[in-house]
C-alpha cells in the first residue's frame, strides 16, 4: 500500500521498518464536513493546520520551514532535507508544532518546535533504517528545498518592481534586529544585580513597547507587499525558461527514482 500525502498537513506517515518497504496503514484523512454552499472566505480568515500523525517519529523538512525555540522565538528557516526526530506534538495559535531534535552539521540539536506544514514524517525510529536509505531521502528532500528556494528567488526578482518591496524588507529586517537586541538586553540584565539590574529591566520593558510598534509596521508593510504581489502574479514562463531550475528538476527526478517506493 502506498502512503498517502495528507493535504491537511502536507506530510505522509510511513513505517520505519528496516528498509521502510512495508508501510503501516496511512493515517486517515479527516472526514470532510457536509457540503455547504460555496462562499468567498472572509479577509481575516485564519487557517489552522493540525497534525494527523503519531506522537513520535522522524522525518525530513521538505522545503525551507520555520522552527522555533521552546519559548516560541522564531529561529529562522530549516533548509529542505533537514533530518529530524520528534517525541511530541503541541498546539499553537497557528499550526501544530512538533517537539523535535534536528540534525545539523553532523550533530543533533534541540529540542525545537518545528512547524508541521511542510514536512514528511515517518513512524518508528530512524536508527532502524539503513543509512543509505536515510541518505537517499535526504538528497531527495534537499533538492526539493533548493527548487523551492530557486522558485522563491525568481518570484522575488519578478516582484522587485513591487512598490512595497524595499519598505517591506526593511521593516522586517528592523523588527528581526529588535529581537536580537532584546535577547542581548536580557542576557546583559541577567549578569547584573541591584540598582543596575533594575534599570536594565526598565529599559527592557520600555523596549518591548518599541518592538510592538516595529512588529505592527512590519505586518502592515508585509500585507501591502502581498496585496500587490497577488495582483501581479509571476508570468508562467519565468520558471520554465530558467536553466538552474531545469537542472535542479532533472536532478530531483534522478533522486526520486531511488526513493519512489517510499514517498507519494
Calculate mean pLDDT across residues 96-112.
Answer: 91
Beta-strand ranges (E) seen in the chain are: 57-61, 65-68, 74-78, 83-90, 97-104, 107-115, 119-122
Q: What is the pLDDT of residue 103?
A: 93
Question: What's phi and psi for 88, nearest 5 deg?
Answer: -165, 160
- The residue behind cell 485564519 is 46
Question: Which pTM value belongs to this model?
Answer: 0.60
Please report, for the chain, the start and end positions of each structural domain, with discontinuous segments joined by +.
163-231
Q: How does the average pLDDT of the chain come out, rounded? A: 80
Handedness of CA 139, 125, 57, 9 (dihedral sign): positive
Q: pLDDT (tens digit, 9 = 90+) per residue, 74-92?
A: 888 899 999 999 999 888 7
What nine digits make up the cell of 92? Answer: 499553537
The burial of 89, by beta-carbon neighbours within 10 Å (0-12 exposed, 13-18 middle, 19 or more buried), is given as buried
Amino acid at each position: 500500500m502506498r502512503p498517502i500525502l495528507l493535504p491537511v498537513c502536507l506530510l505522509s506517515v510511513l513505517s520505519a521498518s528496516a528498509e521502510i518497504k512495508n508501510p503501516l496503514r496511512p493515517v486517515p484523512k479527516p472526514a470532510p464536513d457536509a457540503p455547504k454552499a460555496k462562499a468567498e472566505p472572509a479577509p481575516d480568515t485564519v487557517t489552522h493546520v493540525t497534525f494527523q500523525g503519531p506522537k513520535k517519529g522522524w522525518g525530513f523538512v521538505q522545503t525551507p520551514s520555520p522552527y522555533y525555540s521552546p519559548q516560541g522565538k522564531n529561529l529562522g528557516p530549516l533548509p529542505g532535507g533537514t533530518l529530524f526526530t520528534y517525541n511530541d506534538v503541541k498546539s499553537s495559535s497557528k499550526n501544530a508544532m512538533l517537539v523535535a531534535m534536528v540534525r545539523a552539521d553532523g550533530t543533533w540539536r534541540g529540542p525545537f518546535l518545528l512547524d508541521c506544514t511542510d514536512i514528511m514524517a515517518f513512524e518508528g525510529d530512524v536508527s532502524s533504517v539503513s543509512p543509505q536509505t536515510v541518505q537517499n531521502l535526504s538528497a531527495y528532500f534537499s533538492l526539493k528545498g533548493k527548487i523551492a528556494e530557486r522558485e522563491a528567488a525568481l518570484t522575488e526578482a519578478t516582484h522587485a518592481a513591487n512598490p512595497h518591496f524595499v519598505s517591506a524588507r526593511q521593516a522586517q529586517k528592523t523588527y528581526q534586529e529588535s529581537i536580537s537586541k532584546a535577547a542581548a538586553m536580557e542576557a546583559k540584565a541577567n549578569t547584573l544585580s541591584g540598582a543596575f539590574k533594575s534599570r536594565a529591566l526598565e529599559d527592557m520593558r520600555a523596549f518591548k513597547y518599541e518592538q510592538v510598534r516595529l512588529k505592527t509596521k512590519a505586518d502592515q508593510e508585509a500585507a501591502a507587499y502581498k496585496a500587490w504581489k497577488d495582483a501581479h502574479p509571476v508570468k508562467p514562463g519565468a520558471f520554465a525558461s530558467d536553466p538552474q531550475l531545469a537542472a535542479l528538476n532533472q536532478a530531483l527526478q534522478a533522486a526520486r527514482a531511488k526513493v519512489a517506493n517510499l514517498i507519494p
